Amino acid sequence: MANKIIVNTKNKKNPLGDFYGIFFEDLNHAADGGLYAEMVRNRSFEFSPVDNGSYRSMTSWEKVGNASVMISDKEPHSAKNPHYAVVQNPDNSEGGLLNLGYNSGFNFVKGEEYIFTCTAKSNEGTTVYVSLKSIEGTVYAEKEFTINSGTWQSYKLLLSPTDTDHCGRLTVTMRSAGKICLDNISLFPKNTYKNRENGLRRDIALLLEDLKPKFMRFPGGCLIHDGSLNSDDRDSMYRWKNTIGPLCDRPARRSNWAYNQSLGLGYYEYFLFCEDIGAKPLPVLPAAYNPHSGQGAPFDELGEWIDDTLDLIEFARGGEDTKWGAVRASLGHKEPFGLEYIAIGNEEVGDGFFERYPYFHKAIKEKYPDIKIINSAGPFAAGGEYDKGWKSAADNGSDIIDEHYYMSPEWFLANVDRYNGFGKRNTKVFLGEYATWGNTYYNALSEAAYMTALENNSDGVALVCYAPLLCNVDYVNWKPDMIWFNNHTSYGSANYYVQKMFMTNLGTHLLDFTTEGLGKTQVLGSESLGGKISLTAERCTADFYDITITDTHTGKTASCDNIIGAQANKQLEIGSINSDTYEISFKAKRHSGTQGFKLTFGETDKDNSHSWVLGGWANADNALYSLIDGRSSCLIQNIFSVVTGLEYSFKLVINGRRLTGYINGEKTIEITDNNAVVRELYTTASIDEETGEIIVKAVNVMNSECVCDIVLDGINAFYGKAFQLAGYEKDDENTFDEPQKVFPVEIPVSSDSNTLSCILPPMSVTVYRVKEK
Ligand code: AHR
């Protein structure tokens, strides 16, 4: 039978709404040293070892000449950011401060203008020279100002370099003996995105704008809930009220990604950016509970946190006559920003969150019944905590629930049908963080296949965004990432171009379609999970004993040597088996340490295995993982902690791809890790009601081309474009040297009937966007 995709162009299904968006979190220096265009690193001398053990007040600053520099907090410019530099120059030679900037230094572009600002005081009427220089000291631009007040004053200069240099330096110096106090030393390119003051880096902002996101989730991620409960603490959770108003009064904060947040890119700027790129804001607020530490605010103190949430809604939606609407207006935005969605919690595990969530939910719905509230399904694709999230969503009537997972491409291909039938649920899914592990073309391709299924299940899946979004190549906390940058350039990964093709080609409504033919399949991986078996004491020391491996086909049991005094993190082989049904039993006792045990099985090489982790992460997980070509997937997680000195007895039953784990005789975990059965083609179709355009997406993951007719039922003839990624090797990646190695081509298409005959190349992603002739 000939292959066909038959789209019923007259049968509109559910609206696609705000389906695709972006998720911005300040990790990988996505804000400071990234999208936020400030070029001075540690502009207010607030870096501290609380942020990162290596940080000091003078981090990223150097002394120039014979000057001495002291950091003081006496009579500061702002009590919220108390530290400043006291610079004393002993003679008439040049002396002062030099900032190293981010990455290789400052990015100066010949002819561009840069805005220097600082606050300063001096009792001596001192002249200060501000210079943009090379590492060797070549001056590209220089201006001066005179400090003539013993109280803090602001100064501003415009500088334009005579040359381009990506390794520039900023110096602020004196050329005579004198003593000055300096704070808030800032340099911004004038040419920011939309030319805003305190604005955003243009190249990065444009890459985001080009995605045409319907919403933006911000400001995190773990960033929002990993911190202390007191908003005045240096390492507090992300509290939005700390992030608005004059820059000098926004208190510097530790980010859980082990660096400093100036909060210069704060809630007001996030809302503005959303408005600028046409994305609906989707803020994520902490629920007074930190799943990383297990600490939560007492229930009788939740009021402050709930008020923060309600006040934020008022800040976004309220008129000027409301308290927080007036604050917004005072910052420069009289009109409300609008707010339709709010997320309570990031990826939550533990009862501490689920006990607090209902208070937030009730208070929000009472005051703002139309706001869509997003609950959390935690960081796992399945298991006890995931189920707890869904139960909480059902019990509370959450509009949406946020799911997160980072998996192998094979997991995504094996789970394309994950959301089939979710349309019947009252709570809709927000896939708020997902990615395959990697930025290769194969990663992007498998994500594209998965995204067709997300669109097809958009009656149950309301919102989707890839994560993480941004990464400064010199400050990597997490990879893969959608967009990579250094101090002067940025590029989209292969994954970015898939996202862009899907995000910018989304109809207003899903269309009904059927397929004919297209029956070819290819199974990835092996049916059997036989292979090497080993035990590891993870971040602990332990004994493993009474170890047996039983082949349940033959009934043959092998007893393995006891391992007494296993050292931390050493993988110790206990045997190997060539069978698809077997059991592994062992006893274990931890002597010291913070985590528990790992049983690795079905290991065929170091990059391919399965594992059962007991007492993983914060000694909280009982989880099953697969590792395929070095890419890990947490298949299922339940809660379990190891207690030092207690004896545990473990048994894992492997029956084909069905895995069942028992602890002390009790079944505690079970999942089938299905192989990916790759389909001949992954497709979806939608219509843009406003333009009448029909959009058909076709993803061919196989190594062979797919000949297929696209039949647009209800249309006589059509024309338009196809956007296509094809012809790449699996491992191809975009890089700074080849930023558009993987880049979609545009092909005109036309048909004088309702049918377009297509040859979809091997490993290709094609998006057709056509209109009736
Ligand atoms: O996206 C990176 C991190 O992944 C987020 O902070 C967190 O929510 C998840 O663990």
Q: Residue 1's pLDDT is what?
A: 83
Residue 222 near ligand 1, beta carbon < 6 Å: yes
Closest ligand 1 atom, CA of 25?
6
Tokens of 362: 């009730």
Q: In whole angstroms, give the CA distance from residue 264 to residue 248.
A: 9
DSSP 50-106: TT-TT--TTTTEEEETT-EEEEE-SS-S-TTS--EEEEEE-SSS-EEEEE--STTSE
Angle, helices 351-367/302-317, rounded to nearest 10 degrees: 40
Q: Contact, 216 vs 508, CB < 8 A?
A: no
Residue of minimum CA distance from atom 10 in ligand 1: 222
Q: Residue 114's pLDDT is what?
A: 98
Give residues with Cβ within 8 angstroms of 162, minimum separation 6: 110, 140, 141
Write the DSSP symbol of residue 110: T
Peptide bond just before 76 cis, omega within 30 deg: no
Residue 221 near ligand 1, beta carbon < 6 Å: yes
- Give the Å distance between the CA of 432 and the centre of ligand 1: 10
Residue 25 near ligand 1, beta carbon < 6 Å: yes
Q: What backbone torsions phi and psi does residue 676 show, to the nearest 5 degrees?
A: -75, 130
> Could you tell which of 346, 349, 434 is best to mutate to test the pocket of ligand 1, judged by most ligand atoms within 8 Å of the CB?
346
- Give the Å distance between the CA of 25 and the centre of ligand 1: 8
∠ CA 597-602-606 to the nearest 5 degrees?
Answer: 80
Q: In whole angstroms, give the CA distance from residue 413 to residue 716.
A: 35
Q: In whole angstroms, give the CA distance from residue 431 to residue 415.
A: 14
Instruction: Pick the closest to residue 506 from 721, 684, 714 (CA basis).
Output: 684
The whole-model pTM stands at 0.97
Cα 266 from chain centre: 17
Q: In whole angstroms, give the CA distance from residue 376 to residue 349.
A: 9
Tokens of 483: 């967009």
Which residue type does 152 have?
W
Q: In whole angstroms, give the CA distance from residue 311 to residue 327.
A: 10
Tokens 């990697």 identify what position? 438
Residue of minimum CA distance from atom 7 in ligand 1: 221
Peptide bond just before 460 cis, omega within 30 deg: no
Q: Contact, 491 vs 721, CB < 8 A?
A: no
Please indicate whether residue 347 is annotated as part of the active site. Answer: yes
Q: Considering only CA atoms, give the Rg of the chain.
A: 29
Tokens of 670: 């079970």
Residue of minimum CA distance from atom 4 in ligand 1: 221
Kind of pairing between the strands at 461-464 and 428-436: parallel
Which residue type does 699 have?
V
Residue of minimum CA distance from atom 3 in ligand 1: 221
Task: Please name the residue ranges forming H helices in 368-484.
Answer: 384-396, 409-414, 441-456
Catalytic residue among 347, 348, 538, 603: 347
Residue 709 buriedness (CB in 10 A; 0-12 / 13-18 / 19+) = middle
- Give the Å distance between the CA of 438 and the centre of ligand 1: 15
Write the DSSP symbol of residue 487: S
End-to-end CA distance of the chain: 29
Q: In whole angstroms, give the CA distance from residue 578 to residue 48.
A: 55
Instruction: Pick the closest to residue 654 from 543, 527, 561 (CA basis).
Output: 527
| pLDDT average per 10 residues of sequence, the chain (773 residues) | 96 97 98 98 98 98 98 97 98 98 98 98 95 98 96 98 98 97 98 98 98 98 97 97 98 96 98 98 98 95 98 98 98 98 95 97 98 98 98 98 98 98 98 98 98 98 98 98 98 99 98 97 94 98 98 95 96 96 98 97 97 95 97 97 98 98 98 97 98 98 98 97 98 98 98 98 98 97
Give residues with Cβ within 8 angstroms of 259, minimum separation 6: 29, 32, 51, 52, 55, 475
Q: Contact, 363 vs 332, CB < 8 A?
A: no
Q: Is 130 helix (H, G, I), strand (E, B) or coil?
A: strand
- Taking residue 420's Cβ as centre, other Cβ atoms within 10 Å add up to 11
Q: Contact, 21 vs 213, CB < 8 A?
A: yes
